[in-house]
Amino acid sequence: MIVSCETNRKPHRRNDAHRTAAAAPPQHEPMNRPDPPAHAVLELERFLPYRLSVLTNRISQDIARLYADRFALGVTEWRVIAVLGRYPGLSANELAERTAMDKVAVSRALARLARDGRVKRSTHGGDRRRSVLTLSVKGQRIYDQITPLALQLECDLLAGIDDADRAALARILDRLDVAEKQRRVAVAPR
């Protein structure tokens, strides 16, 4: 059975045409007994988290083609550079929160970027336990070169979408973001 939050989608049973003739009930049993319980069907082509994930991955790969070879950056490194270019002075934990990436992946990306002289670590005021991250001059140069390319790709993606639909998309994404954060808080262990 498909469970859906859309009112126009009706629950239905998955296609059981794959059953063999041997699985058919014997002829002497009545044919009007109830169907066995159906399994839930996850229609990935309509499942929002799957669709968003696949689209995001494809767009990230498109953007990666713009910088991967030229700057020897992976997707994670670019995301770190992009976030620090927009929000300098974050801690590693804050960076992981802003990107929703795994802390280990962020840590590895930061180590590579620091080793390559693209990110600088410094202490936060008098608190030596907290380091803050900023782009180095080299990192800022990379950010300044990739950002216009990424923005052009965004323009290309949105070219066939009118202003009203763009505004609606932005509102929907904002609402989904709020709903997901509220849900995460509601189900968090206490």
Report pLDDT digits (tens) over 97-141: 999 999 999 999 999 999 999 999 998 777 777 789 999 999 999
Choose the weakest-confidence range: 6-10, 75-79, 104-108, 185-189.
6-10
Q: For the chain, how many helices (H) and strands (E)? A: 6, 2
- Rounded CA-CA distance 77/68 in Å is 10
Does residue 6 have a pLDDT over 70? no
Select the more confidently predicted residue: 98 or 28.
98
Q: Is the pLDDT of residue 21 over 70?
A: no
Domain ranges, ordered by start, for the chain: 161-190
Cα–Cα separations (whole angstroms), residue 120 to 88, 134, 138, 147: 10, 5, 10, 20
Q: Give 43's DSSP letter.
A: -
pLDDT tier at 18, thresholds 50, 70, 90: very low
Q: Which tops the pLDDT comparison, 71 or 35?
A: 71
Structure tokens at 50: 């799957």
| Predicted TM-score (pTM) of this structure | 0.75
124 bridge partner residues: 127
Rounded-to-integer distance, Cα 35 and Cα 32, Å: 9
User: Does an H or E element contain 2, and which?
Assistant: none
